[in-house]
Structure 1
């Protein structure tokens, strides 16, 4: 707008600009992460910031800042003057990720089981998600099952009272998401996965920290031991 009697263009208050910019970066970050997780930008994809901004319908500045965040999370590499490269994972990377997740989620389950104040609200969410998983399996809806499974593991770590642990798990879960989805329909129907979720939830409800941790670790180890031979059989070297 024009300031009265000056002819100068007056922009929005600086507070409004500062509030808007982080929102644009967050929007770009979420859009780009989703594109990488869902294989819209597959492993090995290389593109300029301008190209990505056009595909996302955004300006380059928030896209640039979002890509820096994604590089910190190991999803992309920022290539000076060349744009970005979507990082590929090897089967060895996947094994490392599952080993790390098993350890951290085991600790998260122990923390939840050992703290009644944390346990009660967490169980409400975990129980509801287990119902969603059972419904998805009954309807043979693997996509809905995968979404519920992802929510279960995120809730487990987000509610354990250790925010650094949760952030670490989220980062490696995002890195491994593509491989899980690529092999979703090549694995056996995940009936055992639901049974193991129910067992972990039951141990948390009883306040049995040792059992909850043991079961949570075993659950991820079983998933690893199912996935790794499948990747080898399919010859999937870049995920």
Structure 2
């Protein structure tokens, strides 16, 4: 195990990454013993990590039974998507009004798309979900509102987990997500904020298997 972090911190990071990547899907029951054995440590740091993950809402502990990975709650995906759409749409309207900021953002998005294509070709879904979140976060950050940026960042882990869950169900979505991202970057480049808003609604709902809201795709 790495000496950069305590044993409890390493277990926490590893188990949380498995949850966010859907390697540990919602509803799965794991034990302190199996994680301790896998990571070559005692149960004490595993117990500390589990308590921390429970406090964050990622798992639920049952004495003598183990730890249940908490599934994505009913309605959570819809709420996350709704919040993301509102924040991104506001950011895009700000960015497209500034030609310099718009050009800088488009360059950043194109570079992110190149990385997405590379990891998709390698079948690296875990890295891809991080790049997916980075793509959308870059748009919000370019909007220049630190309060909205901070709130959006707080959704990153939920977003990653939702995307990983969707890709676990249908790995072929990798290419459709890249195609959608390319379209979104094109709309920003042409300054079409209304087109972006309509396209991102369809994109988010399709990726996460949600029905389109009434009037969502104009």
- What range is the shorter-chain TM-score in? 0.5 to 0.7
TM-score, normalisation: structure 1: 0.61
With 26-35 and 110-119 compared, the bigger mean Cα shift is at: 110-119
Tell which deviates more after alignment, 153-162 or 98-107. Answer: 153-162
Q: TM-score, normalised by structure 2?
A: 0.66
**Paired residue for 1:164?**
150
Matches of 1:57 and 1:158, distance apart in 2: 40
Deviation at 1:45, TM superposition (A): 1.6
Task: Provide closer, same or farther for how the CA distance between residues 174 and 149 of structure 1 changes in structure 2, counting only shifts above 3 A.
Answer: closer
Q: Tell me whether 1:202 sits opposite 2:192 in the alignment.
A: no
The question of whether the paired residues in 2 share the 8 Å contact of 1:26 and 1:66 is answered with yes
Which of the residues 68, 72, 77 maps onto 1:89?
72
The one of 23, 40, 43 equivalent to 2:26 is 43
Q: Which moved more, 1:188-197 or 1:29-38?
A: 188-197
Distance 1:216 1:195 in 2: 14
Question: What residue in structure 2 maps to residue 193 of structure 1?
Answer: 180
Change over 3 Å in CA distance of 1:175–1:136 after alignment to 2:
closer
Match of 2:200 in 1: 219
Tell whether the 8 Å contact from 2:106 to 2:185 is kept in structure 1 after alignment: no
1:183 aligned onto 2:166: no
CA drift of 1:106 comes to 3.1
Shift of 1:193: 0.7
Residues 21 and 62 in structure 1, CA contact (< 8 A), matched pair in contact too: no
Q: Say which SS state the counterpart of residue 228 (structure 1) adopts.
A: coil
Kept in 2: contact 1:29–1:67 (CA 8 A): yes
CA distance in 1, matches of 2:164, 2:50: 18
Structure 1 range deviating more: 155-164 or 26-35: 155-164
Task: Please list the CA deviations of residues 122-177 of structure 1 after superposition, one character each: whole Å capped at 9, or x if unmatched.
Answer: 5553231123345667x696847655434312444466534531332213213413
93 and 60 in structure 1: CA distance in 2 versus 1, 3 angstrom threshold: same
Q: For CA contacts below 8 A with separation 6 or more, give which structure has more relative contact order.
A: 1
- Structure 1 residue ranges without an equivalent (≥5): 1-19, 231-239
Q: How many residues were matched structurally? A: 204
Structure 1 vs Structure 2 CA RMSD: 4.1
Q: 1:131 aligns with which of 109, 114, 117?
A: 114
What displacement does 1:33 show? 1.6
Divergent runs of 4+, >6 A? 114-121
